[in-house]
Amino acid sequence: MEYKKIIPCLSLDNPIEEALFYNDAGADEIAFFDSSCAREDIDKNIATIKEITGQVDVPLVACGGVRRLEDIKKLLYAGASKVCMKSAPLEDINIVKEASDRFGAERIIVTIDLSECENPVEYGKELKKAGAGELLLIHNNKVDNYIELVKKIRNDVGLPVIASTYSTDPTEISDMLKTTNAETISLYNLKQHDVMEIKQECKAVGIPVNLFDSSLSFDAFKLNSDGLIPVIVQHYKTSEVLMLAYMNKEAFEKTIKTGRMTYYSRSRKTLWTKGETSGHYQFVKALTIDCDNDTILAKVSQIGPACHTGSPTCFFTDLVRKEYNDTNPLKVFKEEYDIIVNRRDNPKEGSYTNYLFDKGIDKMLKKLGEEATEIVIAAKNPDAEEIKYEIADFMYHLMVVMVERGVSWDEVIKELADRR
């Protein structure tokens, strides 16, 4: 099913915090728009975009300041899934074709300002012919017939359109989405929206949106003697077990509706949404039922600690323990990476890592090349012991280069995952 999408625009005051909020709060994509880039350079935002895309799961649309093909490349390489431009195509529409040919039409959005463009339908057709993948239509607050224009462009041009609104009212937002039949609606008032509430309103009037929808009703679950089902809660990225709680039917249905974990308190005999008093919400990423239909496994994004004691997890008291190897390869890479970052930021006399940082990128690359050669030589040797040492040396020097150039393991892993 093709879902209609909701894209909030991030505030420039605290874009990373807002991106993390919307990543959990139901946004389909997020938009990072900096109008000052029209006067300045987009490079000032590259680090912010990289930090956002390294921490969120939802796609990011980068808008503002695109003048050249090189700007589009920088934004996409920083992690943006799409780039939106306005002024550049007005000056030379060929940039749309060049960008579409190089990066794919699905990654290119062009803005049409309906308060300025005299013939937006014809301009939209030109943009489609040039290779634009989507059209962003602004300003609904300045154009009396905005809704009718969006409908006409949507029907006559034949490209997916993004309608924009400054409204904060879920009913008004869903009405605009339904009336215009736009594929996406962009929220531009920079207030933190409850996207799930907007989507519930959309669902109520028959608009297909991406919501949680359980494959089984609560009635299909096998409950305990109290009429409840236990829920094991796990962090969706680290797989750490955070807590155990219980749900009744009302708690389960509220969890599905809001996207925030809601439980039934056996002691207080009432519903409670995790985080409603502490702010330590648990946002649903996945709910799975076991083979007997009597236990739910919830994978969540945990805000703050899960335990009321302040511990990240409720399971922190050892009863018995046998030593075992629980080495996680990715954890090892990240810990080594963090050590290198710490050494860069807090130099230590006699440190080889600091020696490399002092010498600079050319020395780092020379050592990386030497270690790569050592791997090749070792691979010709039938003794597997030698090659593992050379690979470890290479990985260390690779991470030094990564830290020097500001590339994290999360970014590399995301890139690999995207290629699967």
The tens digit of pLDDT for each residue in 325-374 reads: 777 788 889 889 999 999 999 999 899 999 999 999 999 999 999 999 99
Q: What's the one-letter identity of residue 364?
A: M
Per CATH, the number for 218-302 is 3.10.20.810
Q: Which CATH superfamily is domain 329-419 in?
A: MazG-like (1.10.287.1080)
Stated as kind and residue range, the H or E segment containing 417 is helix 409-419
Within the chain, all domains assigned CATH 3.10.20.810 are found at 218-302
pLDDT given for residue 139 in this prediction: 84
pLDDT given for residue 39 in this prediction: 57
Q: Which residues, listed in sequence order, are joined to residue 4 by a DSSP beta bridge?
A: 209
Within the chain, all domains assigned CATH 3.20.20.70 are found at 5-204
- Helix 409-419 / helix 329-345 crossing angle, nearest 10 deg: 140
Q: Identify the CA nearest to 89 among candidates 115, 59, 117, 61.
A: 117
Structure-token pair, residue 281: 């919400």
Within the chain, all domains assigned CATH 1.10.287.1080 are found at 329-419
pLDDT given for residue 38 in this prediction: 58
Topology at the third CATH level for domain 5-204:
TIM Barrel (3.20.20)
pLDDT given for residue 153 in this prediction: 96
**Residues of the chain predicted below pLDDT 50:** none
Could you please report the per-residue DSSP string of 253-313? HHHHHHSB-EEEETTTTEEEETTTTTS--EEEEEEEE-TTSS-EEEEEEE-S-SSTTS-SS
138: helix, coil or strand? strand
Query: How many CB atoms sit inside 10 A of residue 17's CB?
Result: 12
